[in-house]
Amino acid sequence: MLFSIDDILTSEELKFFIDSLSQASFIDGKTTAGWHAKVVKNNQQLDKKTPEAEALREQVQCILKKNALFQSAVLPKIIHSVLASRYEDGMSYGTHTDNALMGDQEFWRVDVSFTLFLSNPETYTGGELVIENSDEERSYKLKAGSMIVYPSTTLHRVAPVTQGVRLAIVGWVQSLVRDPANREILFDLDTTRRSIFAKDGKTIEFDLVSKTYTNLLRRWAE
């Protein structure tokens, strides 16, 4: 399932990220790319050994933990990898798919990816996130403080930046539910029961939908 979350950052949170990254040390993005992605990856990323990287990771995890849409749709077991990336004139990231597993000594499955846009779209040219489907491809260039969430299984790329600077935070999640179709069923059920509760309170219908949601989650969760 692919979806966007507008204004997931407050203006204060957005300023925190931009201020932190303006003084941070960036390195060649190829250092974390898979062997085949190195060929097409041309960007910079925040050095994960710096204090800014740890603070960024913790802040992103905290923000996503509080976001009801992200929690319901993704069912995160762990947000295991978070990076800040920067694209300047001429930089891009060619077509690739994210690694199935990430980690050093402990490995986590990569089910869901996200991109949190930090730069206002009018401040740079190009730099769209392009996600391919079986019959089409779509481009995304969201306003600063908004996020796109998409399956890690897709082929995707970042179009060349031809002017300005594209600053973003990218991350990867292992979900409690491996199968994306099952996650979508659970999301639909959760959305339905919340709608019933908001309209009519705790009714028999709410209880039955909640029972189905809970038992399917119990069956599918890993």
Q: What angle do CA 30, 115, 110 make, to 5 degrees?
A: 70
> Is 98 part of any known ligand binding site?
yes
The identity of residue 72, as a single letter, is S
**Helices 11-22 & 51-66, crossing angle to 10 degrees?**
160
Q: What CA–CA distances, in Å, run from 178 to 37, 73, 117, 173?
A: 24, 12, 26, 11
Query: Is 218 annotated as a binding-site member?
Result: no
Strand order in the sheet with 26-28: 3-5, 147-151, 112-117, 166-175, 76-87, 44-46, 26-28
Residue 134: DSSP 8-state: S
Who's near 91: CB < 8 A, 6+ residues apart? Answer: 42, 43, 44, 160, 161
- CA distances from residue 40 to 1, 49, 54, 97, 156 in whole angstroms, order as listed: 26, 24, 27, 11, 12
Tokens, residue 17: 């990220």
Which of left, alpha, beta for 164 (phi over 0: left; psi -120 to 50: alpha)?
A: left
Q: Which two tokens stand for residue 73?
A: 């749709």
* Bind-site residues for 2-oxoglutarate: 166
Q: Which residues are annotated as a binding site?
A: 96, 98, 156, 166
Binding residues for Fe cation: 96, 98, 156
